[in-house]
Structure 1
Amino acid sequence: MLTDIALKRLKPKDKMYKVADRDGMYAAVSPTGQIAFRYDYRTNGRRETVTLGRYGNGGLTLAEARDRCLAARKMVAAGKSPAQEKQREKRRLSGTASFGDQGKRWLKEAKMAD
């Protein structure tokens, strides 16, 4: 299980590596030294990962990351994919439609030759 002291002592390596916490959450340490909290889960028979946030100045604390992990676990228990919900929310906030949505709109609005 991770602690703030253990997180501060993590050093970058040549490749990204993971340090497990609990309940499927882990800290991913990049070669640049950035630490991101991630959560691995299974939904619809496939493994997925959602990034909960970054650790450090301006980022999440370990307690906040665990709270987000708990919320993501509840979503998985309800049959939802936290990663897909996060993508939907990003698209909603940015106002851009997915490729599939754009394709449907084009098919609906396109004028076909006779």
Structure 2
Amino acid sequence: MLTDAALKALRPKEKSYKVTDRDGMYVVVSPAGTLSFRLDYRLHGRRETVVLGKYGPTGLSLARAREKCIDARRAIGEGRSPAIEKQREKRRLLEARSFGELGEKWLVAAPMASRSIAL
């Protein structure tokens, strides 16, 4: 089982490598030294992987990664794919941001008279 001290002691190698934790979660250490928490699982006969997040001060703590792993395993138990749900959430956030940017551009570009609403 991993600890914060063990994670901080991991050093990059020429190729990416895995270090296992518990509940199927593991850490991938990239050649650049990035540590990513991942979970492999099988759903509907297919093998899938979900990246839970990166380790570090701007990323996830080990405790938070384990919480996300538990949430992902719960979703798998309910027949939902955590990887697909994560993709959908990213797409939803991107679309929301795009719509917000469109609205801001319209507010800046449109003359005041065209924005007024007569009641």
What amino acid is aligned across from residue 78 of structure 1 in structure 2? Answer: E
Between the aligned residues of both structures, percent identity stands at 64
Residue pairs, 1:1-114, within 5 angstroms = 1-95=1-95
Displacement, 1:57?
1.7
Higher helix content, 1 or 2: 2
Distance in 1, Cα, partners of 2:48 & 2:23: 14
Unaligned runs of 5+ in 1: 97-114
1:9-39 CA distance string (max 9 Å, x none): 0000011100000111001000000101001
Amino acid at match of 1:2: L
Q: Normalized against structure 2, the TM-score is what? A: 0.78
Runs of 4+ more than 3 Å apart: none
- TM-score, scaled relative to structure 1: 0.82
How far residue 92 of structure 1 moved from its aligned partner, in angstroms, is 1.0
C-alpha separation in 2, matches of 1:2 and 1:24? 12
Q: CA RMSD in A?
A: 1.0
Q: Highest CA radius of gyration, 1 or 2?
A: 2
Gaps of 5+ in 2: 97-119
